[in-house]
Structure 1
């Protein structure tokens, strides 16, 4: 399927799902999901794979086994490249979220990252990389960061915000806009993912053998 734009019905679909998150509503609207949400998302994923590698589109079902919220369906569709570090794209009623990096950093990755942050000879290159992706609208994903300093570091460390990170990923949000429904959305998403590649390349080059462990 050639990509001709995401479908403007997708945000409305998820807004309605939020109010009707039941198997009955999903069953009645499944064809709409396949046609207006998943098919265009698969099409842009196929196009992006040529440059960034194969992508995986996540299933629409939530894992509710250990959750107090038993709503069965996710309120967004997402894809991730099958690489580490990875690129990510999500579509919801709020628009797009683009990002990438190491979403589940291992202890070895975090140890190496924190050693770089703590080394005055190395942290400058990290800051320059973050400034570069920051100028393009990307921010570190710090929502689940430690509340205090990691073991072995002072809360007064000049780079305490970096040391507290548990997820070495960046993201940028795009509110619903007309450009998303046109074929040119592919170029816009591709350009943003190229910015994500700057961060992913830094992670690969500086965390070395810890990436993929």
Structure 2
């Protein structure tokens, strides 16, 4: 990969300053600094999108479109601070055949890449559980693969405390059946984020999610007999 953009230290430093001064007066006074750093992040996201698009089909139009707004929605939150203190963005896989999405979160001391299914609807969750209940082996093979374990560790996400409706607590796949979210996450140090090859590292990390994404896509686009539902 040639001439890939980097995440400059100033972009993380700006967030640290914003965290200490999370108010409109300070932000307005530093709006030009914000715009400078946002441009760096959008360029980084553009490069990452270009690399991901070599091996996947994405509907996100540009790096700029992928980056989340810095302004928080505080209407229903007890936390009334007006600004996010991280750079975040996501890339959505295209068409009904490809499920899942890629997410990046950049913040001093708390940077990570993630992907998966944050809030599957009731129908999707029912279909996923039906598949795991019928035959958990394909998913276990993915989650136990050396590449997956060394990169992501374990499947993450909110879980039920007991068995979901229709399944026995002693079911062989109860550990999978309890999940309400299906997430894979890899954390990075500040040094790794600021390195010249972070776009490459991020691309490789996202690519390692593909077996998980592709199998979940297969589940969500077929019935229990494997026939297409699209």
Q: Same fold (TM over 0.5)?
A: yes
- The count of corresponding residues between Structure 1 and Structure 2 is 205
Matches within 5 A, 1:104-119: 104-119=119-134
Q: Does 1:22 align with 2:23?
A: yes
CA distance in 1, matches of 2:140, 2:82: 41
Q: CA deviation at 1:209?
A: 5.3
**Paired residue for 2:89, among 79, 101, 114?**
79
Equivalent position SS for 1:165: coil
**What's the offset of the Cα at 1:43?**
1.3
Aligned to 2:107: 92
TM-score by length of 2: 0.80
Match of 1:103 among 102, 106, 118: 118
**Runs of 5+ in structure 2 lacking a partner?**
94-98, 224-229
Question: In the TM superposition, what are the counterparts of 1:30-109 in structure 2 within 5 Å?
Answer: 30-36=31-37, 38-50=38-50, 51=53, 52=56, 53=58, 54=60, 56-83=66-93, 84-109=99-124
Q: Pick closer, same or farther for the CA change 1:41–1:197 going to 2, 3 Å.
A: farther
Q: Per the alignment, do residues 45 and 209 of structure 1 end up closer, same or farther by CA in structure 2, a change over 3 Å counting?
A: farther
8 Å contact kept, 2:103–2:113 = yes
Alignment RMSD: 2.1
In the TM superposition, residue 3 of structure 1 has moved relative to its aligned partner by: 4.0
CA–CA separation in structure 2 for the residues paired with 1:48 and 1:159? 36
CA-CA distance at 1:95 after TM superposition: 4.1
Moved over 6 A (4+): none
SS in 1 for 2:218: helix
| Deviation readout 1:63-92 (Å, 9 max, x if unpaired) | 111111111111211111132311111101
Paired residue secondary structure (1:90): strand
Report the structure, 1 or 2, having the larger strand content.
1
Compute the TM-score of the two structures, normalised by the length of structure 1: 0.86
Matches within 5 A, 1:1-213: 3-36=4-37, 38-50=38-50, 51=53, 52=56, 53=58, 54=60, 56-83=66-93, 84-119=99-134, 122-132=135-145, 133-142=148-157, 144-177=158-191, 179-208=192-221
Given that 2:152 and 2:184 are in contact with CA atoms closer than 8 Å, whether structure 1 keeps it comes out as no
Q: Measure the CA separation in 2 of the matches of 1:109 and 1:135.
A: 28
